[in-house]
Amino acid sequence: MSKERLRHRIVALGIVLVMAFAGSAIYDGWRLHQQIMFATERELGNLAKALAEQGARNLQAVDLLLRDTGEWWETNGDTLSSEAVSAALAARVVGVSQVNVLTLVDRHGMQRHRSRITGEPFADVSDRAYFQSQREATTDGLFINEPVVTRTDGRPALVVSRRLIDDDGQFDGVVTAIVTLEELKGAYTAIELGEGSALLLTLDDGTLVVRLPEEPGFQPGVQRYPELSRFKGAPLIDRSVSPVDGRVKLVAAIGVGQRPLTLTITRDEHEALRPWYDELRSAILRTLLLAALVVLTIVGLLRQLRRLEAGEAEKAALEARLQKAQRLESLGTLAGGIAHDFNNILGAILGFGEMAQQHAAPGSDMSRYLDRVMQAGARARVLVRRILDFSRSGVAERQPIHLQTVVEEALAMLRPTLPETIRIDALLNAGTAAVMADSTQLHQVVINLCTNAGQALGDSGAIEVLLKRDSTSLPQTLLHGDLVAGDYVCLVVTDTGAGMSPEVLHRAFDPFFTTKKVGEGTGLGLSMVHGIVTDMGGAIDIVTEPGRGTRVTVWLPLCCETPAPSPRTHPSWPHGNGQTVLVVDDEQPLVELAEELLAELGYEPVGFSSSEAALAAFLADPHRFDVILTDEMLPGMPGSEFTLQVLAIRPELPVILVSGHVDLALERRAREAGVTALLHKPLALQELAECLARTLQRSPHSPH
């Protein structure tokens, strides 16, 4: 290679690296901007919530004083002298520092009593807003008047009032408390709001009561900002032009409890982004220095740099694959533990619940309550299966599944969980098409795709679910997976949401990748869909564009034709004929449950909570038992090892092994131990009854 060509390549590489540094700086600046804005919004929201709670507690003390005073006056007021009433009011005010004066007004608007002398009493306050509001109110509620100036102290204050009611439930006057704004501001003055920040306390009509820090010439009750009333309720973060000074601000507002007040924290956007401006200047300088360094060093290190970059990229890829494998392995281990422990608890709930259903009167409230318990338990059981399916610890039971029925059931379950403003349009034309799959896994595919579509829509939009037959005569390569020639059933989920960028689309099915905020998603849903579809020999294609929505197409191989399943009827379960069943489980509630279930089915159960005790009972009388029902995860001696010792003495004895963590390794151990049947926890009554009947029917051993 000539020196000129080498020089040109060096120059070209230098330009690329400089542009890369510039792009990285721009991206880092954008990311820092997002982080600072998010942190500022969270800070303002938390601060507004904390200050609103403080204000609510202060007003609650005033409200309690008004309630207590009103009840006291309605009970004892007419029996006391004027001096005694004033003394009692003064004593009540002592414990509530926020209240300056406590006053009782009769139904005609005349001030009757005060907690302390503040000048001549008003002859008539019937024209005051608080009196008119309480007189015309139909319910007992708290009213806060616009700010007034106290006659004695000349300080701005709020008039907080509650109505009095006579024995006939009619309006009997008003009890009021004068709360000075200085006392109200006292809870907030110690808070450091930061540069460019302000605190506003407004009434429901937007009247400004408190402003911190105060501006020169500020007068409570003069300025009104009715647009702030829209922030009433939970903390709301907004970015808008402030009605106070016309500058762009971040605004966090929240209602003060159930009181007619709104607390607002504002901060100048420019002030909030000051660290970003500083970092931006520093990033520009760093980028220029790095660009200069690249130009000076790239000539001599070109070949070495290329080898180093290739080695680092390969190392990073290997480390990423190792970390992903370790995370998946850890999740698999965790899933196995959860399945065992949770299934033991869930087994007792579902088992005793199912027995209670059998004894509950049809149509009774108890029967309805038990139906809800069993529905919740069934959802919990599916949840454990989903965890096991993701970790590949679960063993899916593949059989021909009528796909259209599964989609209809999934959509019926999904509709109540979506906002009413989101519409689901279903066009299901698969007819009798069936796929070889596990129905629970197919249900997960539909739910995950439709849930993601609903989240992409936000508050409103439409989801279109299409199920149809299709075929291809030539192999095709889709976004995720390859299709061979043949017949397929296509599930198409289309939304009108924001769509995905190419970067997000590239990683959409990666485990642990999510575009949602922390706490709103795990990144496992689509990776689970990808794993299930791939295991079935299908493929996934996605068509999306930012701002134009997303269409996800799942291709599943058509295996055969099968009619839709008929509606389920009341089960009729086979019963035993007094056969003795040896039950072994380390959870005592599950032992008791199994004994109850077996007795209900006509068997004679003998339960033990340890494999050692069960083995001792078996050795004492080996021919006493007709069948053994044992858990696998037993402390000391697992169920498969217990089976080996039992069958060494009675090879013909049928053994049913039960576990909440059924995988290929357990199936292999069960076959090697000579287990007759393998069941998945938690057990259902019908499943147990049918398994026992099949096992005893195949067994040459005659029942007692």
> CB of 696 within 8 A of CB of 627?
yes
Rounded alpha-carbon distances, angstroms, from residue 589 to 357, 478, 595, 625? 18, 51, 10, 22
Q: Return all residues near 404 (Cβ < 8 A) that are at least 6 apart.
A: 428, 430, 431, 433, 467, 564
State in words which class domain 396-561 has.
alpha beta
Considering the entire predicted model, what is its pTM? 0.37
Which residues on neighbouring strands pair with residue 703, listed in sequence order?
none
**Residue 362: count of CB within 10 angstroms of its CB:** 6
Give residue 498's identity as a one-letter amino acid code: A
CA–CA–CA angle 542, 511, 449 (5° rounding): 40
DSSP 3-state of 483: strand
**Are 425 and 463 within 8 A, CB to CB?**
yes
> Would you identify the CATH topology of the domain 580-698?
Rossmann fold (3.40.50)
pLDDT at 496: 86
Quote the pLDDT of residue 308.
Answer: 60
Nearest CA among 137, 85, 88, 128 for reference residue 108:
128
DSSP H/E element including 152: none
Superfamily (CATH) of domain 27-272? PAS domain (3.30.450.20)
Buried b (16+ CB within 10 A) or exposed e, 329-353: eebbeebbebbbebbbebbbbbbbb
What phi, psi does 104 have (nearest 5°)? -115, 125
- Return the sign of the alpha-carbon dihedral for residues 663, 664, 667, 668: negative
- At residue 522, the pLDDT reads 44
Residue 242 is predicted with a pLDDT of 61
Residues lower than pLDDT 50 in the chain:
392-395, 518-523, 568-570, 701-704
Lookup result for tokens 């192999």:
475
The pLDDT, as a whole number, for residue 557 is 92
The rounded distance, in Å, linking the Cα atoms of 61 and 146 is 20
Contact 560, 587 (CB under 8 A): no
Residues 6+ apart with CB under 8 A from 121: 111, 114
Domain boundaries, the chain: 27-272, 396-561, 580-698
pLDDT of 1 reads: 54
DSSP state letters, 413-450: HHGGGS-TTEEEEEEE--TTEEEEE-HHHHHHHHHHHH
Give every CB contact of residue 97 below 8 A, 6+ residues apart in sequence.
183
In whole angstroms, give the CA distance from residue 261 to residue 204: 6
Give the DSSP H/E element, type plus range, for residue 169: none
Quote the pLDDT of residue 25. Answer: 81
Find out whether 555 and 540 touch, Cβ atoms under 8 Å: yes
Query: 3-class DSSP state for residue 701?
Result: coil
What's the rounded Cα separation, in Å, for the pair 413 and 378? 13
